[in-house]
Amino acid sequence: MTELTSLTIAEAREKLGAKEITSVELTKAYVDAIDAFNGTFNAYITTTPEKAMEMAKASDERRASGKVGALEGIPLGIKDLFATEGVHTQAASHILDGFKPKYESTVTQNLWDDGAVMLGKLNMDEFAMGSSNETSFYGPVVNPWKAEGSNQQLVPGGSSGGSAAAVAAHLCAGATATDTGGSIRQPAAFTGTVGIKPTYGRCSRWGTVAFASSLDQAGPIARDVRDAAIMLKSMASVDKKDTTSVDLPIPDYEAALGQSVKGMKIGIPKEYRVDNMPEEIEALWQQGIAYLKDAGAEIVDISLPHTKYALPAYYIVAPAEASSNLARYDGVRYGLRVDGKDIADMYEKTRAAGFGTEVKRRIMIGTYVLSAGYYDAYYLQAQKVRTLIKRDFETVFHAGVDAILTPATPSSAFGIADENLAADPVAMYLNDIFTVTVNMAGLPGIAVPAGLDKKGLPLGLQLLGKPFEEETLFRTAHVIEQAAGKFTPAKWW
């Protein structure tokens, strides 16, 4: 019998439906796997095995009484950014020390309403600020992938590094994640998994710890395109509690899989061919173009002229919003408090002790660009550039392009504690160069594994789409997946 933890969500759904397995059996298999291997990966910050077994038992009882949700009995990992009632929720930060919310985020509530089982809370970059999962207060996450013939530990990407590693190492069937500048798609690409950032407004932000409110979106990381489609359908909702939640019906994303891409127009933006891009990334991109051409899609060269300005604009807008959002951590209402000689001293000492280096750096940048005299030069300029970035996309979509194909990342996974990246924050930021554009424009993007590099590490392609046309992305990503196959790390643990 195959290991239960090797089943995709779709496969587990079938076996549960056919009564070949129970959720209790499936959940127990994951709880045991986490017990055995989480120490190796540091993917979970907190595990909730008792709660998981209770939820699994309740799920089996529901199934016996004929009530079967879309994720009935499926064990999932939850990024530490999502508020989970009574369970550790700290955005992997020290400043939220001991925080256990009295409420549940809309996204996770949607999952439990559909019958899913919670295995625990997943590691991430502190407040989702990072591209390597190394800024976590709880330490780095280890990528289940290793280069051939090497024993070096690699990062899983970030900020949803715990989510991506747990999915790739089969420590959960699927995971929730969030994406502010690439935090779903970059870790998915680094771990051979599938991750989709939906259109801004598709998933409710209610109960998700805020980083940059105009950019943050939740989405799934899963083993394949079908599983990502299944999960997004449950995560997405129209939520009165989030004023930016969009009032549009949620399609059956899974139904888009298997539909033809014949006659679809796929745009190839010349601006994504950046200096010093490894040949292998270019080759992967050409391979993706060939896959889609073979499937009958029409390939067109396009231009998105403001692409190079997306990352610098992001590093004004995101820190500005973060400096405002993170003002709430003051040692009064929740989390850590460090006493001081007066209230201002208490605030300053609490925030100095509670925030990590990268978070402080971004709060400082955000405070600076919003401060008197600099607002117009930085923040206003960045928001105007953002309008131009969005206009670039609107122009090509208006010209008939259905989706845009790009590489997901400029490289494969790099080593933990890489010295060059540690010394230069901007070099780390460049990881998001291909992913950040759609956050600025609010558009959906999916990362799908498409091959391995010379070192045997996974590489991903990215598809970008029109607002609320996630179905087009699933359909197209599925064609790439069918052609490229799936990628699983050799089990060394």
Q: What are phi and psi of 83, to 5 degrees?
A: -70, 125
Please report, as residue ranges, which positions from 13 to 32 form the binding site for other proteins (by CB under 8 A): none
Q: Please tell me whether residue 313 binds other proteins under the rule CB under 8 A.
A: yes
| Binds other proteins by CB under 8 A, chosen from 53, 68, 246, 277 | 246
Residue 278, judged by CB atoms within 10 A of its CB (0-12, 13-18, 19+), counts as middle
Question: How far apart, in whole angstroms, are the C-alpha atoms of residue 153 and residue 285?
Answer: 27
Of the candidates 164, 183, 160, the residue with the CA atom closest to the CA atom of residue 174: 164
Tokens (6 digits) for 127: 């407040």
Catalytic residue among 23, 159, 160, 234: 159
36 touching other proteins, by CB under 8 A: no
Distance, first Cα to last Cα, the chain: 20
Per CB under 8 A, the list member of 377, 399, 417, 422 interacting with other proteins is: 377
- State the Cα–Cα distance between residues 179 and 186, nearest whole angstrom: 9
What would you report as the CA-atom Rg of the chain, rounded to the nearest whole angstrom?
21
422 is a site residue for other proteins (CB under 8 A): no
As given in the structure block, the two tokens for residue 402 are: 């259905």
Q: Which residues pair with 196 in a beta bridge?
A: 446
Residue 368 is a binding residue for other proteins (CB under 8 A): yes
- 365 within 8 A of 429, measured Cβ to Cβ: no
Q: Give residues with Cβ within 8 angstroms of 103, minimum separation 6.
A: 83, 85, 207
Q: Which of 23, 59, 160, 183 is catalytic?
A: 183
Verify binding: residue 367, other proteins, rule CB under 8 A.
yes
Q: Is 132 noted as a catalytic residue in this protein?
A: no
C-alpha to C-alpha distance for 209 and 283, rounded to whole angstroms: 38
333 binds other proteins (CB under 8 A): yes
For other proteins, what does the binding mask look like between residues 76 and 115, x meaning CB under 8 A?
A: ----------------------xxxxxx------------
Question: Does residue 79 have an active-site annotation?
Answer: yes
Task: Map the footprint of other proteins across residues 205-244, applying CB under 8 A.
Answer: 214, 240, 243-244
Helix (H, G, I), strand (E, B) or coil at 443: coil
364 interacts with other proteins by CB under 8 A? yes
Residue from 30, 82, 190, 429 in contact with other proteins (CB under 8 A): 429
Query: Which segment (64-72, 172-180, 194-202, 292-300) binds other proteins by CB under 8 A?
Result: 194-202
Residues 302 and 369: their CA atoms lie apart, in Å, by 33
346 binds other proteins, rule: CB under 8 A: yes
Considering the complex, what minimum distance in angstroms separates the CB of residue 359 from other proteins?
10
Residues 133-172 that bind other proteins (CB under 8 A): none
Residue 424 in contact with other proteins, rule: CB under 8 A? yes
For other proteins, give the closer residue by CB, 386 or 475: 386
Catalytically annotated residues: 79, 159, 183
